[in-house]
A = this chain, B = another copy of it.
Amino acid sequence: MIFSSSLLENAVNEFAKLPGIGKKTALRLVLHLIKQDNAEVNQFSEVIAKMRNEIKFCRRCYNISDAALCNICSNAMRRQDMLCVVENIRDVIAIESTQQFNGIYHVLGGIISPLDGIGPEELTIDSLVDRISKEGITEIIFALSPTIQGDTTIYYISKKLAAQGAKPRPVKITTIARGISFGGELEYADEMTLAKSISNRIPVENFILSGS
């Protein structure tokens, strides 16, 4: 692509560095911004820079945060003894958007995946184990990807907690239910999911009580 303006070219190149955005899409976005008011584009630019310069990671749960402690950790209305373990920040946003969980989080920063060179020491597992004994957690909910890597991570952390021994009280360890998606059709579900959903079947009265 040949540009007659270096201002335009630089802007297109910056946008094209973003994941999933090629040169043509970048050009479309930049030409859109050119049509907007200066004030609006300056606001866009300032909000992005401010976000990058001021954003922090919560020192307790590693979630994205405006302050040293995130909104969720510092919210006294939430149960501080129920901990949901997730892979990344996107998962926190997804679970928060369901408005079904009223506890706190712990962001691992990934899952154990030796093929990708991610071992337990790359994740925030030590800090998690530390929190569980110090903060008086009574239930840990694992909300990790339903893959071999996710299961390995759950297994590794559970073993580590059992080895710890010095727990002040027994901790309940659960994982989010796996089964047929809401609105999904049985004939299109894969065998593994269908098999799990049969072996982990739930009594109908529970089902009705849970209101789903």
Contacts and interface: CB of A to CB of B under 8 A. Distances in A.
Chain B CB count within 10 A is highest, among A52, A54, A55, for A52
A28 B90 CA distance: 9
Given A42-B53, A49-B45, A97 B1 contact: yes
Nearest to A54: B7
Contact of A48 (B1, B44, B93): B44
Contact of A96 (B2, B46, B55): B2
Copies in the complex: 2
> What 3 pairs across the A-B complex have the smallest Cβ distances?
A41-B52, A45-B49, A11-B51
A138 interface: no
A32 B53 CA distance: 14
A52 B107 CA distance: 38
A55 to B, nearest CB: 5
Nearest to A65: B5
Given A2-B96, A4-B63, A34 B48 contact: no
Interface in A2-17: 2-8, 10-11, 14-15, 17
A181 interface: no
A55 B34 contact: yes
A30 interface: yes
Contact of A90 (B7, B31, B55, B64): B31
Interface stretch (A19-27, A123-131, A160-168, A199-207): A19-27
